[in-house]
Structure 1
Amino acid sequence: MSEQSAQQITVDLLVVGSGTGMAAALAGHEAGLNVLIVEKTDKVGGSTALSGGAFWIPGNPVIDADGGSDSVERAGEYLADIVGDTAAAERSQNYLRFGPATVRLLQRLTRLDFMWSKGYSDYHAERPGGSAVGRTCESKPFDIGLLGEHRDDLRSGSMAAPIPMPITGVDYRLINLMVTLPRRGLGRAVRRLSQGLGGKALGREYVAGGQALAAGLYDGVLRAGIPVWRGTALERLIVDDDRVTGAVVDRDGTPVTIVAERGVVLAAGGFDHNAELRREHQLGDLPELSLGSPGNTGDGLAAGTDAGAGLDLLDQAWWFPAVAPLPGGSPKVMLAERSLPGSLMVDEAGERFIDEATDYMSFGQEVLARRRSADPIGQMWIVFDQKYRNSYVFAGELFPRAPIPQGWYDAGTAFTADSIDELADATGLAKLPGTVARFNEFAEAGVDDDFRRGSGAYDRYYGDPSHGPNPCLRPLQRGPFHAVKVVLSDLGTCGGLRTDGYGRVTSDSGEVIDGLYAVGNNAANAFGNRYPGAGATIGQGLVYGYIAARHAAGLLAADTPAARAQHS
């Protein structure tokens, strides 16, 4: 990096955003580029730090090392089937091509130790090329103390525990079953609690999930000597002779011109918290309840379109059903809750409307499709019996047998009654008694004739294997019975700038804007309007960060046999 004046500097590669954009910075640094990261907020990590931290990258070396035998070719069959012949097809295929090399880069340049989440099924595992054993990986618990004086730079996780207990995605599933599978569930809880408390005694601070991934990436960035300017907002891109040559940023109130000789990588997230754009393209009069980073207001989209970029898939987000927030609070995501036996979900009339256990993006797409139709779902509810409440963790904070907080009742978020008829009267869910009676018949038989809940591998992953014949179905028989309001939340938007198979931003007509790249949620989803498996959102941020940086360095200039062999 060379400084030409107090207001202008020159770098090779400018990365805007410090979530998975840090992978782009590491890839650029390894390729010999001088890299600068700018981050609008005062915290590093973006939505990655708030997430579960998993990544879905088929055929990667972590799966191989853990005894799996996944292949990129089989995953290609899967993506070809679910993505189809769309504008995203080229992007999804290059994602597979460079995915394993991306993971190897992270293994070289960070101190993260990855593991395969064996059994975490692809979301559409029954489709050709799908995998019931899964392709999802995540970091093992990471000592955030390795960041030293930069420890407090990292954005705090949305699920931070009150005690040191680094819970991975695999841990979450098992701990959720601590009552019905105590040996496995309680054993895993004790193991993580021991690691957290033992680490603290040794001066270590173990974190898991998105906190671990973001911390590991940041640690790699710091050790590589890559500067990170926090509190620095993108103002505009600089375009010279149809090429993006840099950007103007606001650094703590001072405008700075950054000349980027090899390119600018936009990794600034989506438009999660831009209420105007969300009303226009997605939600209409529904509230914006995003769990994405608060800095995701669409700055990268605005700068890109000003430079001639096209936009795609603005109606899409990583939707997630959640418990309705209390006044002044945040929604609480529902993952395993929807799959576990002894529960069902209904619309405002009291009727079921979906396979409750389906992947969360598909859930949200169905809710919004119905909203646009003549038969909207309206208010959603999850209904369950006391045995369910006694058996499972709920909303990430209510441990088994813990009473539903009085504040939930006071806010009209929860209702409890001794019978289903009384619950229907209390909530106004007129058709609930008939719905529960029909559901109970299916649950007794172990087959959901209406929505096939529990028939797919992903449904069953978050079910209760101690219950049969269907781990996702059990009749609701003994009261008291509970109903809790559900809203449509999201983990961030996934529509954005149009890009090609090298992460280069293009116009609506497909013309490449030289010198400009977009990755992660700043770009339109590499899988179109589909979500192939847990961690595909973080995965594409990592992989396309690698691709964009290598392309900017001149290492992926042509699609030749030699280039393909280098990254096979």
Structure 2
Amino acid sequence: MTVQDGTFDAEYDVVVVGSGVAALFGAAAAASRGLSTCLVEKTDRFGGTSAYSGGAVWLPGNPVLARDGLEDSVERGRTYFRAVVGDRTDQRVQDAFLSTGPAVVEFLQGELGIPMRFQAFPDYFDAPGRQEAGRSIYPKPIKGVEVGARVGDVRSAVPVDQFAADEDTTRLEGGRAWVARLVLAMDAMDNAELRLSSAARELIRDADGRVTGVVVDENGERRALGARRGVLVAAGGFERSAELRERLQQMPTADWSSSHPDTGSGDAVRMFEDVCARLDLLDQSWWCPATLFPNGHAAFTLGFRSGLIVDGTGRRFANELLPYDQMGRKMRARMADGAGDDFWFVFDDAEAGGFPAICIPAPGADDLRAAGLWHTAGSVEELARATGLDPAALRASVDRFNEFAERGEDADYHRGEDPYGRFFVGASTAQECLRPVGGERLHAVRLVLGDLGTKGGAVIDVNGAVLDTEGQPIAGLYAAGNSSASVSGEAYPGPGVPLGSGMTMAFRAVADMVGEPLPVTL
């Protein structure tokens, strides 16, 4: 869209689209520099998919790690990141992300006053530079009374948003703590404006092609918001767009994503297409196994303490204790090979019939049984018939798994040999991660390929500027978070890479808007 006369309903220095952690942090960074800043969020709550996250932020060599006693450096993080990601993305953009991380944390502490802490969570790959304790930091939880009237504006946790659980705002943790603290920081700035129920529809360009603003639909009224310095799009991905998921990722549904149904609808991708931006990684997501619930939604599941996972043919195909994105990729590969999209988690009564994995909300056996998503049987063959699996194949999978458990060594997939897998089981040896499946009752719970959001979008340069199809920056347009093509490419290096990279590139984008681009140094 071109505004010939340059008139707007309202005009700011910076307009930010979205309200996840990357968007909120970018807006806070802009307002703290004295720029008039407007953030628009299409739903009635702030937080996007970020509010669902555990809140990890992966930034090597940052001052919180040093303060809390973890020995790390940007260079060590670069060694690891490069070993995992390689040259799938621009290595100068990788370096820009890594070198700026410590400054982001200093800004969070010094300018915004947000308290943070280190919490152990292993890096995901066995590669040079890996930290087995991880290198992720988290916001300290915040009480609902401290958030005050804004607490109702922060997106609820997954059990409330998607599974009708009662809401508890006594204490906000993880991603919700980031969102609450960043919203409060912006509320304290006179030059910052936050707008809910304001959906960005299209970018505005002047006659020279510079992006000068955004058209939003605000409670049914179209308004043109001008942006003198730039527009930062950090509006999430397209995980909830059934059309885009099918066309770009060949996924059978968009309902299995962990994001909220009203977010991640692909608005950013469509706006970028309209201005001929270069797009990449559209076939990629932050994958994960997920437990399917009767309402059609699926909940992120990890930390399988016992049992085994089989595909639609009844065969075990991977180490169940792989980092979740890697396990998700194994599931995706089985789907591509024709095994179908049915997966089953098979376990016994070792935990009194409980679900031996981490899933929030915890699946209720009775509700899932009524929906055909949880089956209980007295034998492997009976369980196979209930789930529609090949009895001989399932029997062979269980028997082979049990042989490995008795020996204390998974010869097929090496379960428990990596520190990540042992971390979630609380084990010190691989043998502790392997226990035979048996007894009087066996269970099978339906799993599907879920995700924590898509990771494809606009290709950006070292300053977070969106590139056009010729590889040149589009003046006035920036992207961060899941609206941009992830700097980590097809890999998920460690907990907090999505939030950490999104915050960092938003920070660099704001610096570029004010004509003070940050250096790319290590």
TM-score, reference length from structure 2: 0.92
Q: Tell whether 2:171 aligns with 1:206.
A: yes
- Match in the other structure for 1:11: 12
Task: Report the Cα distance in structure 1 between the residues aligned to 2:167 and 2:231, rounded to whole angstroms.
Answer: 39
Q: How far 1:519 moved relative to its partner?
A: 0.3
Q: Tell whether 2:229 aligns with 1:268.
A: no
Q: What are the superposed Cα offsets for residues 437-457 of structure 1, whole Å, 9 maximum, x if unpaired?
A: 111111122221111111111
Task: Report the Cα distance in structure 2 between the residues aligned to 1:145 and 1:416, rounded to whole angstroms.
Answer: 44
2:498 to 522, 531, 537: 537
Task: Report the Cα distance in structure 2 between the residues aligned to 1:267 and 1:164, rounded to whole angstroms.
Answer: 27
2:106 to 104, 107, 110: 104
Contact 1:111–1:216 (CA under 8 A) maintained in structure 2: no
Q: How far 1:140 moved relative to its partner?
A: 2.2
- Match in the other structure for 1:227: 193
- Match in the other structure for 2:63: 61
Contact 2:54–2:175 (CA under 8 A) maintained in structure 1: yes
Q: Tell whether 2:388 aligns with 1:386.
A: no
Q: For residue 369 of structure 1, what is the amino acid of its counterpart?
A: A
Task: Report the Cα distance in structure 1 between the residues aligned to 2:26 and 2:407, rounded to whole angstroms.
Answer: 51
Task: Report the Cα distance in structure 2 between the residues aligned to 1:163 and 1:299, rounded to whole angstroms.
Answer: 30
Q: Tell whether 2:477 aligns with 1:498.
A: no
2:378 to 418, 425, 440: 418
Q: Which runs of 5+ in 2 are unaligned?
A: none
Task: Report the Cα distance in structure 2 between the residues aligned to 1:253 and 1:390, rounded to whole angstroms.
Answer: 50
- Match in the other structure for 1:368: 332
2:424 to 453, 462, 480: 462
- Match in the other structure for 2:95: 93
Contact 1:88–1:527 (CA under 8 A) maintained in structure 2: no
- Match in the other structure for 1:187: none
* Cα gap change, 1:274 to 1:443, in 2 (>3 Å): same
Q: What are the superposed Cα offsets for residues 358-377 of structure 1, whole Å, 9 maximum, x if unpaired?
A: 1222222222233223x435
Task: Report the Cα distance in structure 1 between the residues aligned to 2:185 and 2:420, rounded to whole angstroms.
Answer: 33
- Match in the other structure for 1:472: 433
**What is the alpha-carbon root mean square deviation over aligned residues?**
2.3
Q: Tell whether 2:84 aligns with 1:76.
A: no
Contact 1:88–1:528 (CA under 8 A) maintained in structure 2: no
Q: How far 1:329 moved relative to its partner?
A: 4.7
- Match in the other structure for 2:282: 314
- Match in the other structure for 2:124: 123
Task: Report the Cα distance in structure 1 between the residues aligned to 2:145 and 2:397, rounded to whole angstroms.
Answer: 52
User: Greater CA deviation, 128-137 or 512-521?
Assistant: 128-137
Q: How far 1:304 moved relative to its partner?
A: 1.7
Contact 1:54–1:535 (CA under 8 A) maintained in structure 2: yes
Contact 1:320–1:333 (CA under 8 A) maintained in structure 2: yes
Q: For residue 505 of structure 2, what is the amino acid of its counterpart?
A: Y
Q: Which runs of 5+ in 1 are unaligned?
A: 166-203
Q: How far 1:479 moved relative to its partner?
A: 2.9
Task: Report the Cα distance in structure 2 between the residues aligned to 1:287 and 1:238, rounded to whole angstroms.
Answer: 29
SS at match of 2:333: helix
Task: Report the Cα distance in structure 1 between the residues aligned to 2:471 and 2:6, rounded to whole angstroms.
Answer: 37
* Cα gap change, 1:164 to 1:263, in 2 (>3 Å): closer
Q: How far 1:134 moved relative to its partner?
A: 0.6
Q: How far 1:147 moved relative to its partner?
A: 2.9
User: Greater CA deviation, 108-117 or 347-356?
Assistant: 108-117
Task: Report the Cα distance in structure 2 between the residues aligned to 1:257 and 1:48, rounded to whole angstroms.
Answer: 27
Contact 2:459–2:466 (CA under 8 A) maintained in structure 1: yes
SS at match of 1:421: helix
TM-score, reference length from structure 1: 0.85
SS at match of 2:444: strand
Task: Report the Cα distance in structure 1 between the residues aligned to 2:15 and 2:254, rounded to whole angstroms.
Answer: 34
Q: Tell whether 2:73 aligns with 1:113.
A: no
Task: Report the Cα distance in structure 2 between the residues aligned to 1:489 and 1:292, rounded to whole angstroms.
Answer: 10
Q: What are the superposed Cα offsets for residues 277-314 of structure 1, whole Å, 9 maximum, x if unpaired?
A: 11101134345321213222111221122112111000
User: Identity across aligned pairs (percent)?
Assistant: 37
- Match in the other structure for 1:396: 360
- Match in the other structure for 1:157: 157
User: Greater CA deviation, 250-259 or 35-44?
Assistant: 250-259
User: Greater CA deviation, 291-300 or 91-100?
Assistant: 291-300
1:237 to 199, 203, 215: 203
